[in-house]
Structure 1
Amino acid sequence: MIIYLLTLDGAFDTGLGALLDVFAVANELAESAGLATPRFSVTLLGVRKQVTTAQGLIVPVVTGTGLPRPDMVIVPALGAKKPETLLIALQRRDVAEAGRLLRHWNGQGALIAAACTATFILAEARLLNGLSATTSWWLAALFRTRYSLVSLDESRMLVESGRIVTAGAALAHVDLALHLVRRSDPELAALTAKYFVADPRRSQAPYVVPNHLGHCDPVLDRFERWARNHLADGFSLKDAAFAAGASERTLARRLRGALGKSPLSYFQDLRVECAAHLLHTTSASVEQIAQQVGYSNAATLRLLLRRKLDRSARQLRSIQV
């Protein structure tokens, strides 16, 4: 199976290394176990003769034309961590050239995959238009605003849509690689995951910190500050809009456009986030914490923790910080 890792300047070192290591270990395990799975032939490919990672390492890449048609092309993330630095990176010429290559290979039937910030490269290449996708949870607002033709679900760790696979934040490179191995041989993927001590993760939701969502909108910033100061109070859209300096309709429209949520839904997310933080940083009871974040009883809080974070209050309390 021919796999190209299309690597660009500023690549996220851990993501690139994770992809290489998962496929290498899968090959070794398949051989030692005598499995008939096709081996993964991985080539580091670039659109420039030399690629330097985000940490300054020089990556030996292959360039040029006439390469065999790949079965898969995977784009490791860029090392940009903030919306503004990512937007600058997306304007680079090598990113545009990578997009043309990806469209070409996709047209030839290759599976295209990306994790974390590299999902933006796929979106820039218009490969995600009309499809479902995921991305780094903290960049979801920017993604949703910039690529309105993509159906984004940032709560998911992996989304496969047609011949495109997208994965969530940073270490989702491991989840992505294991998923691609699983497409060839579920037994080999399970064995490889055991060697990496990597449990399957379906959702990014337990890791989301709402105030780290990059939305670059002063109206939403003001709304968030108001919401955090009124978690124990009943929600009022009128008061929220007044504090944000916008009409109720404008606040709802901007929040829906940036985060895919209503003001009330985002307010509830902040309550759950605050409750989760209190559970693993204080000794307060679930009942006390429920009251602190505006719920009249602990049962409601427990239900929301399960629904939004897929974890119980006891599991959250056991997390060490």
Structure 2
Amino acid sequence: MTTILVLALDGMMDSCLAITLDTIRAAQSIQSRGGKGRSVRLLVAGHRKTVRGSGGMRLDVDMTFAEVMAGAVRPEWIVIPGLGLTSEEDIAARFAQKDALAAIELVKQAPHGTQLGAACSAVFLLAQAGLLAGRHATMTWWLAAVFRTRFPDVRLDETRMLVRDGPCLTAGSAYAQLDLTLALVADTMGTSVAHLCSRYLLIDQRPSQARYMVQSHTQHIDPTVVAAERWIDANLSNPISITQLAAALAVSPKTLSRRIDAAMGVSPVKFIQRRRLLHASHLIETTNKSIEAIAAEVGYQDATALRKLVKREFGMTPAALRG
């Protein structure tokens, strides 16, 4: 039997926990009707016997964190739903609380071979436990700068919905909990069950967070990066070189590269391309302008190049993006 253990912390996002439990239960139902595959047991653990979500949901758990660490269960998967953290201050305070400290200790002591999954701000918990050091990961895009400051040794790419590296599976913003749970279902019950589950629950495919990033969101630590965004956005229709951008910001190209990499985890070239694509996707979704006109407006002379980039980065064509 395969055991999936969900760690429920006080103040977690009710929706993230519900998504996890409902999706796994739906998959269990699909699997049982098929009569094939290894049985899967779903358990929920909390610091105390009863936990409360951020929206007031109350849940009586199957066991406590202390019981898990005492060997009451040996799970193949441990999953941490999104915690609903919204700022650097929230994060620092949350991980000083007893239940978070106990959860961190629990995942640190997980037996070798245990798979670990976390979505949204719960990815901070895996990083706080030291389990993401040197690994690739993703998380909610609008806390990415805070994450990089706290954990510079994690190879973060916040544009991705789902990243697996070794035993760790991380997911993007809150509703990427669906993507994480479906990946868990595929791992424990098979891809056919995961596919049927996604169809029954009408779960769409979202390979990237990039198209959901808000253009004006500038929650970066480094003001040079904020200034770079503004200058790029004001000059999108023109060719932009790294030397030109650095000169406009009164820094050297080397300094600019270092600051962009520290804040965003990408090269300046990729950073500029991302700004172009974010504006392009916004225009595609909110205007009737042709792809040729949009390409010119965001600095691509060739509309074909824009189409290819949209397909590669967002996982869909401009026509599908426009809906």
CA distance in 1, matches of 2:272, 2:22: 41
Q: What are the Cα deviations for residues 1-21 of structure 1, in whole angstroms up to 9, with x where unaligned? A: 222211112201111001100
Give 1:265-304 correspondences, 5 Å limit: 265-304=270-309
CA contact (8 A) 2:210 2:278 kept: no
Select 1:144's aligned residue among 141, 144, 148.
Answer: 148
CA distance in 1, matches of 2:257, 2:216: 18
CA contact (8 A) 1:219 1:245 kept: no
Is 1:202 the counterpart of 2:220 in the alignment?
no
Structure 1: give runs of 5+ residues left out of the alignment.
Answer: none
Q: What are the Cα deviations for residues 158-196 of structure 1, in whole angstroms up to 9, with x where unaligned? A: 222222221222111111111111112222222222211
Is 1:217 the counterpart of 2:218 in the alignment?
no
Q: For 2:109, what is the secondary structure of its paired residue?
A: helix
Select 2:180's aligned residue among 173, 176, 183.
Answer: 176
Is 1:88 the counterpart of 2:89 in the alignment?
no
Q: For 1:28, what is the secondary structure of its paired residue?
A: helix
CA contact (8 A) 2:136 2:154 kept: yes
Q: Give the TM-score, by structure 2 length.
A: 0.88
- Paired letter, 1:169: S
RMSD: 2.2
CA contact (8 A) 2:127 2:133 kept: yes
Q: Which residue of 1 aligns with 2:132?
A: 128
Q: Which residue of 2 aligns with 1:55?
A: 55
Q: Which residue of 1 aligns with 2:26?
A: 25
Q: Which residue of 2 aligns with 1:110?
A: 114
Give 1:184-195 correspondences, 5 Å limit: 184=188, 185-195=190-200
Q: Which residue of 1 aligns with 2:36?
A: 35
CA distance in 1, matches of 2:158, 2:60: 33
Detail structure 1 runs of 4+ shifted over 6 Å in the superposition: none
User: Number of residue pairs matched?
Assistant: 316
Query: Cα 1:233–1:163, aligned 2, differ >3 Å: closer, same or farther?
Result: same
Q: For 1:265, what is the secondary structure of its paired residue?
A: helix
Query: Cα 1:273–1:36, aligned 2, differ >3 Å: closer, same or farther?
Result: closer
CA distance in 1, matches of 2:258, 2:222: 12
Query: Cα 1:213–1:71, aligned 2, differ >3 Å: closer, same or farther?
Result: farther
Q: Give the TM-score, by structure 1 length.
A: 0.89
- What percent of counterpart residues are identical? 38
Q: For 2:74, what is the secondary structure of its paired residue?
A: coil
Query: Cα 1:83–1:302, aligned 2, differ >3 Å: closer, same or farther?
Result: farther
- Paired letter, 1:129: A
CA distance in 1, matches of 2:113, 2:301: 55
Structure 2: give runs of 5+ residues left out of the alignment.
Answer: none
